[in-house]
Amino acid sequence: MGLLQFDTTEITGVASGTTSTVALAILALAFYLWTAKGSAMQHLPPAPKGYPFLGNLMDVVSAGGLLHLKMIAWAREHGEIIRVVLGPNTEYVINSDRACAAIFQKNAAISSERPAWLVGQKYITNYESMDLLDASNPRWKNRMNYAKKLVNSGSAPDSFMTRVLTSSDKSGASETEAAYVALKLIAAASDTSRVSTWVFLEQMMMNPRVQLHARKLIDDAVGDRLPVWEDIERIPYVRYLMKETWRMRPPVGNALAHRITADIAYEDYVIPAGSTVRPNIWAIGRDLKRHPDPDTFRPERWEGDKLSTQQSANLPDATQRDHFAFGVGRRFCPGVQVAERSFAVAIMRTLWAFDIGVRPGTQMPLNPDDYMEKELPGVPGSRLPLSLKVRSERKSLIEEAWKKELAEWQVYGNMDLDPLEEVLRAQ
């Protein structure tokens, strides 16, 4: 048995030394990872206080349709960029004009992609939607160029869809691509006009002084004829009304999310590659640095600003831009000119034709929270206590214009035209 016995003292010593070395290495690695994570966290934007594992998810869910109000509260507490933790996911919300310009314009090449919305991109739109496609996708680039050519062509066709179909052959766009471009331009403009008109009527009810002043300017400029888009050059106050409406109540409070493909540094912060970022349109329009009285509807704040929305968006200094209601960077809405023209005409013709008032029996002073639906700012309510009275000297002109429009609309089939006819019959 003596021949089989070994002296294990040296082996034990070696094993003990190896274990100690491994343990020290693990501790060193853990310390490095902890300090590295701490260093990286120091450069991330601040996050509102949340719950373990869930982060701010419960706050976002409970806010529901009033999320824009929660976001602006966080913006005023935490600053230009905030990190919103949604369980395993994180979004970075951009709350200032300067930060938006730095991230979405200066770094447009790496901040214009979309998150991987598989259901929306593939199964709902079959990779056809301009809103959901990545900006690096050739389809998106082709459609954006096609849309810009349609909008900027300067011609006056009988039908927008006729122009889409005839120009698609020349541009090489397929019928499907042309259809989605047309849908994007028409839907974006109509939705924006609907929401904006709601807000405009609401503000005219609440601000009769503004209404009377705007009407006098329109009457002096056009007299006894229907206003047209070209009249805006002689009535800059109409442009001020549009700017103030879109600043105060943008159609979209929190814009669609972008995905960045590389780290972006801003001030003392770093937003990591692959992150989801989105502009906080509502917060920018109510930034106290831009507008000390953000809750006051005051078109005069834009006096002297004759720039269109597109021209203002192109300004090199983002702090001089009027509003961000149509987005920022490469994702700027291609239908902005259509929306701007239709809204301007709606403002001028409504003020030219009607006295805008409050329905009898409505509690005063008027409080929008009493009748607005509890939804995002892009969803108008359905209970606006509005009273429209045709101006007596305009009634015959309105009826004549109405008959002409009615005859043209009959070409497209049965339309729901009862609301305006009801207003005219009631006068």
pLDDT at position 181 over 70:
no
Mean predicted confidence (pLDDT) in 36-60: 82
Residue among 97, 92, 23 at smallest CA distance from 56: 92
* Selected residue with higher pLDDT from 189 and 219: 219
Is the pLDDT at 139 greater than 60, yes or no? no
* 3-class SS shares of the chain: helix, strand, coil, % to 5: 55, 10, 35
Report whether 100 belongs to an annotated binding site.
no
Most confident residue range from 162-176, 222-236, 244-258, 408-422 = 222-236
Q: Which residues pair with 295 in a beta bridge?
A: none
The pLDDT value given to residue 407: 76
Higher pLDDT, 173 or 90: 90
Is 243 or 151 the better-scoring residue by pLDDT? Answer: 243
Q: What's residue 179's pLDDT? A: 62
Q: Tell me which of 3.10.129.10, 1.10.630.10, 3.60.15.10, 1.20.210.10 is the CATH number of domain 57-390.
A: 1.10.630.10
Sorting pLDDT into bands at 50, 70 and 90, what band is 373?
Answer: low
Q: If we measure between CA atoms, which residue out of 313, 271, 249 comes closest to residue 103?
A: 271
Which pLDDT band, with edges at 50, 70 and 90, does 364 fall under? confident
- Whole-model pTM? 0.76
Determine the average pLDDT of the residues in 344-370. Answer: 88
182-201 pLDDT per residue, tens: 666 666 666 677 788 888 99
Q: How far apart are CA 82 and CA 76, in angstroms?
A: 10
Alpha carbon 61 to its chain centroid, in Å, reads 20
- pLDDT for residue 265 is more than 70: yes
